[in-house]
Amino acid sequence: MNIHSREQGAWTSDDVIVVGGGLAGLFCALRLAPRRVSILATAPIGQGASSAWAQGGIAAAISPGDSIESHLADTIAAGAGTVDEAIARLMVSDAAERVHDLLEYGVPFDRDLAGELLMSREAAHSERRVVHVKGDMAGAAIMTALVDAVRKTPSIRLIEGYVGESITTGDGQVSGIVARPRGGGQPVHFPARAIVLATGGIGHLYAVTTNPPESEGAGVGMAARAGAVIGDPEFVQFHPTAIAVGRDPAPLATEALRGEGATLVNSDGTRFMPAIDPLAELAPRDVVARAIHNEIAAGRGAFLDCTEAIGAEFPEKFPTVYGYCRDAGIDPVREPIPVAPAEHFHMGGVLTDARGRSTLDGLWACGETTSTGAHGANRLASNSLLEAVVFSARAADDIRARYPDSEEMHPVPAEGAADDQGPDGAAVARLRQTMTRDVGVVRDRAGLVRALATIAELENGNRSIRFGNMLTTAKLIAAAALARTESRGGHERSDYPESADVWRHRTFITLDEAEGIAAEALPAETAVCD
Ligand code: SIN
């Protein structure tokens, strides 16, 4: 734990607090400099963040022959009918400048012998447009550069080892955040004029995920409890090719492998994607994830075969995936990799506008914890790091314009049980199993109602505010999934398998509305049978 101001003998923080030490949080804080800002993070900055695990890279239409229009068209096509075109246009248009910023921070994107940036191809992109580092190490390299930059920036104060629990409000606007030391203890109220939520995704609400354990949907839970509107919570992206070796979190086999020609086969050795989509292995992620889910459900299994397309070049081209495979006793140069879908990204989140503003005055958000509308119902590969840098910069610019002068603030011990030891392991495991089984790749009414009943039961016995945030986020996802009686992108209902024109729109939902959906569904069907 590291509270600079505390070590100096007095509690001080800044009037702008960024919550989260992943890509979006760090980029936002750096962009605010030299204006003062505090970063409050659960782990030392850069750790516990999905960004550091990203293998693909950042999509940006910067090669000759590529265009913003083409990147936009691919983003809209992948998004399955609900992309906010104006927001997506902002995202793809700002891409070149943000990649330039990362180069300035020293990110060593791969280049060819002539010094030009090398681009990889990923599913549903019509061009090679993903800048990457050493093949599959983009996230780690970007985070190393940004952590270094943050630690050298005197205007950024770090409050590490604190878990955000509740956003406080007064007179209709945000007044601060209550956070507790990660290991337990007395909560502290950090007053603030502006809070920026950059707490990442929701992976740890699911039993099978590619995200680090810190991705537990805290930002969505806190924002919803404070009254913010949540966008598109039902749209959850399952990455098709997590390596299925029973590890938690599940290691990822990047989509760039399929971009290089790797194929998907079942245990008979039959390639199954060409019969499902004309783009075969390069179909949008939701399509490939469902196809793999169905092969596994039918008992045929699914494997990523890289032996012909990549073969002996695997260790050098994809060192991270190669390491994961070797740790599991698999040699991807010679044998197919067993794969299965795993929760990977949340298209939904805190509803924000082009400036990163939420519906609560004084609350901004950026990165995966938001729902900007740029991804619609299904995110295009390597648009996630892009969204994080684009909208964190926009949020920083907006905050600086609104509050040009900074103020020191004085945190105080907050009311609240000092003996809140955090989530109970068995309850978390039950929630995760429920979400994977009933709110996973394929859903139906019976499973969603069962999930809402389990969430209600877990809420009744819960004494942990942190677990309460997890349950709130899970409830929003399950309730919105129950209400959306169609299939679209990352929301597949086996009882409503088609997309419906009346549902060709985003979801905007408050916690009260989610509770109304749950209350309406539960009385008749409350039986919980895990
Ligand atoms: C991958 O490398 O397959 C993941 C990239 C992403 O989630 O965009």
Per residue in 48-71, pLDDT tens? 999 999 998 999 999 999 999 999
Given a contact cutoff of 8 angstroms between Cβ atoms, the answer to whether 264 and 288 are in contact is yes
In 109-232, which ranges are E strands? 119-120, 130-131, 156-160, 162-170, 173-181, 188-191, 194-197, 230-231
Ordered by where they begin, the domains of the chain are 2-161+347-412 (3.50.50.60), 240-341 (3.90.700.10), 425-524 (1.20.58.100)
254 CA from centroid of ligand 1 (Å): 6
- Summarised one tens digit per residue, pLDDT across range 167-185 is 999 999 999 999 999 988 8
DSSP 41: E
Atom of ligand 1 nearest to the CA of 344: 7
Query: Once rounded to an integer, what is the mean pLDDT over residues 391-420?
Result: 93
Residue recorded with tokens 């979006």: 24
Does any ligand 1 atom lie closer than 6 A to the CB of residue 177? Answer: no
202 contacts 236 by C-beta, under 8 angstroms: yes
Q: What's the pLDDT at 7?
A: 44
CA pseudo-torsion sign 337, 339, 344, 348 = positive
User: For ligand 1, what atom is nearest to the CA of residue 380?
Assistant: 8
> 50: Cβ below 6 Å to ligand 1?
no
What is the average per-residue pLDDT within 222-239?
98
Mean pLDDT, residues 75-91 taken together: 97
Residue 382, ligand 1, Cβ within 6 A: yes
The arithmetic mean of pLDDT across residues 341-365, rounded, is 98
pLDDT of residue 419: 77
Rounded mean pLDDT, 78-105: 98
Q: How confident is the model at residue 416 (pLDDT cuts 50, 70, 90)?
A: confident
Q: Cα of 14 to ligand 1 centre, how many Å?
A: 34
Give DSSP secondary structure letters for 391-415. Answer: HHHHHHHHHHHH--S--EE--EEPS
Which residue matches tokens 């001080």? Answer: 12
pLDDT in tens, 194-227: 999 999 999 999 999 999 999 999 999 999 999 9
Q: Label residues 335-351 b or e (16+ Cβ within 10 Å = b).
A: ebbbbbbbbbbbbbbbb
Any ligand 1 atom below 6 A from CB of 352: no
State how far the Cα of 396 lies from the Cα of 431, in Å rounded to an integer: 35
pLDDT tops 70 at residue 529: no
Give me the pLDDT at residue 420, please: 81
The torsion of the CA quartet 254, 314, 104, 45, rounded to 10 degrees, works out to 60
Of the pLDDT bands very low, low, confident and very high (cuts 50, 70, 90), residue 6 is very low
Sorted by sequence, the CB contacts under 8 Å of residue 375 that are 6+ apart come out as 75, 78, 79, 83, 88, 235, 347, 383, 387
Q: Write out pLDDT tens, residues 255-296.
A: 999 999 999 999 999 999 999 999 999 998 999 999 999 999
Which residues does the annotation mark as catalytic? 285
Predicted local distance difference test score (pLDDT) of residue 1: 39
Residues paired with 166 in a beta bridge:
178
Q: How far is CA 82 from CA 44, 235, 290, in A?
A: 36, 11, 19
pLDDT at 485: 98
The per-residue pLDDT for range 441-469, each reduced to its tens digit, is: 999 999 999 999 999 999 998 999 999 99
pLDDT exceeds 60 at position 525 = no
Element (H, E) at 13: strand 13-14
Going by their DSSP bridges, the two strands 156-160 and 37-41 should be labelled as parallel
SS3 240: strand
Q: Is the minimum distance from the CB of 56 to ligand 1 under 6 angstroms?
A: yes
Terminal Cα distance for the chain, rounded: 38
CA–CA gap between residue 241 and residue 129 (Å, rounded): 21
Looking up tokens 């990549």 gives: 310
In ligand 1, the atom with minimum distance to the C-alpha of 385 is: 8
Mean pLDDT estimate for the chain: 95
296: Cβ–Cβ under 8 A, 6 or more apart, which residues?
Answer: 302, 340
Q: Residue 319, by phi and psi: left (phi above 0), alpha (psi -120 to 50) or beta?
A: alpha
pLDDT tens digit sequence for 460-519: 989 999 999 999 999 999 999 999 999 999 999 999 999 999 999 999 999 999 999 999
| pLDDT attached to residue 370 | 98
State the chain's maximal CA–CA distance in angstroms.
67
Whether 433 has a pLDDT exceeding 70, the answer reads: yes
Are 166 and 48 within 8 A, CB to CB?
Answer: no
What was the pLDDT predicted at 10?
57
| Three-state DSSP state, 42 | coil
- Supply the residue whose CA is at minimum distance from atom 1 of ligand 1: 254
